[in-house]
Amino acid sequence: MAEILIIGGGVAGISAACQARQAGREAVILEAGDRYGGLLDHFHKDGFRFDNAVHFAFSKNEPYSEVLARADLITHRPEPYNYEQGRWLKHPVQNNLYPLPAEEKVEAIKSFVERPARGEASDYRQWLYEQFGKVIADRFPVRYTGKYWTVPPERLSTDWIGNRLYRPSLEEVLFGAMTDRTPLTYYLPELFYPRRGGFRAILDPLVEGLDLRTGKEAVRIDPSKRFVECRDGTREYYEYLVSSAPLPEMAEMIDGTPAAVKEAAEGLWATSIALVSLGLNTPEAGEHLWFYIYDRDIMPARVHAPYRKSPDNAPEGCSSLQFETYFSRYKPLPVSLEDLEGHVIGAAEKMGLLCAPDIDVTDCRILPYANVVFERGMTGRRKIVRDYLAEKGILPVGRFGEWDYLWTDQSYLSGKKVETLPCML
């Protein structure tokens, strides 16, 4: 019997096990896959390394800063761009309108000046109008919402925004419309990435000495008898259970979950990602570390260049790009992965990122969980499920365990909540 049994070997589960070990307590991690890392993991294809979507390291809490201090990291200045109708605009676009035609800039600025007074917006669309005016909002973040969150912005609450979207002053909007010599206003001053080993390398020192069991997919939980049953038929007994598994799945796994809790769990949903990764035999693909796409006729919402994050991600003299297309129960992927690959390559050529004959490697795959969607009313449904887990003595951690918009450093901090579990006498 494990004193602390942890479902999931991602950053939150590993953090929980490390915290238990520091306290001199026994912890066992059950990981469904054949590798640890979860969303922070990577894959290889003919000498190219690709992460599971774009990842960079940064920290706003001391415990994760200590983790980063152990790693050999490359420092990047965050200078993302935006692609829209053949133009490249600096990010954030709302205070970098310089490439637009004069009449379009005048229209956008006039709308910004006449925007509604900032108040308690009832939904994300209204919030966007209050911050940027209707013209900028409809042309940029509203479009992007449909591509990234897969639903119209009026379906979203504003609970998740925080400092993720920059709110410029009129002076900043005017200045950014007149020149491209604008200051950096990204919400982070610098980003980090491991020099070798992909993003998961940050976790490598942490797993040494942990009891981490791969190929152990949890399928059933009996909280009264305190065991987790795995797909391979084995049972793992516990004193305390910690879970980074997706919250809706937990409601299904627990024996005897009430219908009301299951109904609340069914109302929780996340986006998925279709990843198209390309390895090229040329040294320069595109010009940017990462960028966003607003055109509706181009399916991917975001693109990044793994070889720019670290030269270790591609063979010498080669480059790489990874395209993220988001879909969900409300916006299914409209094409097959094979057709998506063709679409991406055509779009990449149109944007001037590459020439198709230079592509040596392609990979297409689905990541079932990308981002928790803060649909209006979601937090109430989430509370019902969380309260039920607490009643059953189960501690949820991590982005999908807590069902929250957590960055990597926040997920690591979430795992440390294991210290709140009392010791058995």
Residues 94 and 159 both lie in one domain: yes
Residues 169 and 97 both lie in one domain: yes
Residues 352 and 411 both lie in one domain: no
* CA pair distance 290, 79, nearest whole angstrom: 8
pLDDT per residue as tens digits for the range 371-411 = 999 999 999 999 999 999 999 999 999 999 999 999 999 99
Q: How many CB atoms lie within 10 A of CB 54?
A: 17
Residues 317 and 232 both lie in one domain: no
The secondary structure of the chain, three-state, reads CEEEEEECCCHHHHHHHHHHHHCCCCEEEEECCCCCCHHHCEEEECCEEEECCCCCECCCCHHHHHHHHCCCEEEECCCCEEEECCEEEECCHHHCCCCCCHHHHHHHHHHHHCCCCCCCCCCHHHHHHHHHCHHHHHHCHHHHHHHHCCCCHHHECCCCCCCCCCCCCHHHHHHHHHCCCCCCCCCCCCEEEECCCCHHHHCHHHHCCCEEEECCCEEEEECCCCEEEECCCCEEEEEEEEECCCHHHHHHHECCCCHHHHHHHHCCCECEEEEEEEEECCCCCCCCCEEEECCCCCCCCEEECHHHHCHHHCCCCCEEEEEEEEECCCCCCCCCHHHHHHHHHHHHHHCCCCCHHHEEEEEEEEECCCCECCECCHHHHHHHHHHHHHHCCEEECHHHHCCCCCCHHHHHHHHHHHHHCCCCC
Residues 256 and 119 both lie in one domain: no
Write down the pLDDT at residue 423.
75
Q: Which two tokens stand for residue 168?
A: 């410029």
Residues 232 and 364 both lie in one domain: no
Residues 23 and 156 both lie in one domain: no
Q: What pTM does this model have?
A: 0.96
Asked whether residue 183 is domain-assigned, the answer is no
* CA pair distance 221, 336, nearest whole angstrom: 35
Answer yes or no: is pLDDT of 93 > 70.
Answer: yes
Band (pLDDT 50/70/90 cuts) for residue 120 is confident
Write down the pLDDT at residue 425.
39
Asked whether residue 336 is domain-assigned, the answer is yes
pLDDT per residue as tens digits for the range 352-375 = 999 999 999 999 999 999 999 999
Residues 314 and 380 both lie in one domain: no
**Residue 305 is part of which domain span?**
46-58+72-78+188-194+271-368
CATH of the domain at 256: 3.50.50.60
Mean confidence (pLDDT) of the chain? 97
Give the Cα-Cα-Cα angle 158, 246, 125 (nearest 5 degrees). Answer: 15
Asked whether residue 94 is domain-assigned, the answer is yes
pLDDT per residue as tens digits for the range 263-292 = 999 999 999 999 999 999 999 999 999 999
What's at 258, amino acid-wise? P
pLDDT per residue as tens digits for the range 153-175 = 999 999 999 989 999 999 999 99
Asked whether residue 280 is domain-assigned, the answer is yes
Strands 235-243 and 394-396: parallel
Asked whether residue 122 is domain-assigned, the answer is yes
Q: Are 216 and 230 in contact (CB under 8 A)?
A: yes
Asked whether residue 231 is domain-assigned, the answer is yes
Residues 335 and 380 both lie in one domain: no
Asked whether residue 425 is domain-assigned, the answer is no
Answer yes or no: is pLDDT of 126 > 90.
Answer: yes
Residues 256 and 380 both lie in one domain: yes
Write down the pLDDT at residue 384.
98
Residues 20 and 137 both lie in one domain: no
Burial class (CB within 10 angstroms; exposed 0-12, middle 13-18, buried 19+) of 394: buried
Pick 118 or 318 by higher pLDDT: 318
Answer yes or no: is pLDDT of 97 > 70.
Answer: yes
Band (pLDDT 50/70/90 cuts) for residue 60 is confident
Write down the pLDDT at residue 59.
86
CA 318 to chain CA centroid, nearest Å: 26
Residues 246 and 213 both lie in one domain: yes
Band (pLDDT 50/70/90 cuts) for residue 424 is low
Q: 41, 73, 77, 34: which is closest to 57 by C-alpha? A: 73
* CA pair distance 17, 39, nearest whole angstrom: 18
Asked whether residue 318 is domain-assigned, the answer is yes
Mean pLDDT of 11-27: 97
Query: How many domains are there within the chain?
Result: 3
